[in-house]
Structure 1
């Protein structure tokens, strides 16, 4: 193999590494957006605590919780699609299982937040 071929392969590996890191940053950003939606849901309870009927404020907060769950699973799906395309090469990334576990934990957290908001 020539030196030019080695350099081309090295550049390809570096590009794959950058793509893996970008994928992980994007996933983390989506998770932050989902957590922000949960924050809005909690904030609605604080702002509209004396709102009547209370079920309306709780329903709106629940919409934000639902949005957060959709964001978590959309992020997981996109991260998985990107990693699947990269798996054809030698790029080393976090296993999809890590993305799935985080999406599950945050989904359970969002559902628990909803349960608490509805019980108040």
Structure 2
């Protein structure tokens, strides 16, 4: 017969693994929200392409791009902070480096989209 303390520790370990996986899903959700801001910026340029003055539509699109970058970095900060407080057991968590690489890639792409929107 197993000890009740051992069973409680096992349940706690599994709960921590579930929290690690939930942290990754939350990070992915925020990445999608940031990408939605990028899509809105592109859509604004498409819809208001003939808007006069053109810098007005571009400025509003840029606000969404800046918001996207803020969302990316905020999500990274929270995901890394949560990950540092947890100990993985059976789940293989993404590393903080993976979160950072994803955010740097999306930030670079968002800046490139901004450059293209202002150039066109």
TM-score (norm 1): 0.94
Mark the runs of 5 or more structure 2 residues left unpaired by the alignment: none
Match of residue 47 from structure 2: 47
Shift of 1:8: 1.1
Match of residue 109 from structure 2: 109
**Secondary structure of 2:107 counterpart:** helix
Match of residue 100 from structure 1: 100
Distance (Å, rounded) in 2 between the aligned partners of 1:90 and 1:58? 45
Distance (Å, rounded) in 2 between the aligned partners of 1:90 and 1:17? 6
CA contact (8 A) 2:24 2:79 kept: yes
CA contact (8 A) 2:17 2:88 kept: no
Change (3 A) 1:60 1:13: same
Shift of 1:90: 3.9
Written as runs of structure 1 = structure 2, the 5 A alignment for 1:1-120 is 3-86=3-86, 89-91=87-89, 92-120=92-120
Shift of 1:97: 0.4
TM-score (norm 2): 0.94
Change (3 A) 1:54 1:103: same
Deviating runs (4+, > 6 A) in structure 1? none
Equivalent residues, number: 117
**Secondary structure of 2:116 counterpart:** helix
Change (3 A) 1:76 1:67: same
CA contact (8 A) 2:20 2:83 kept: yes
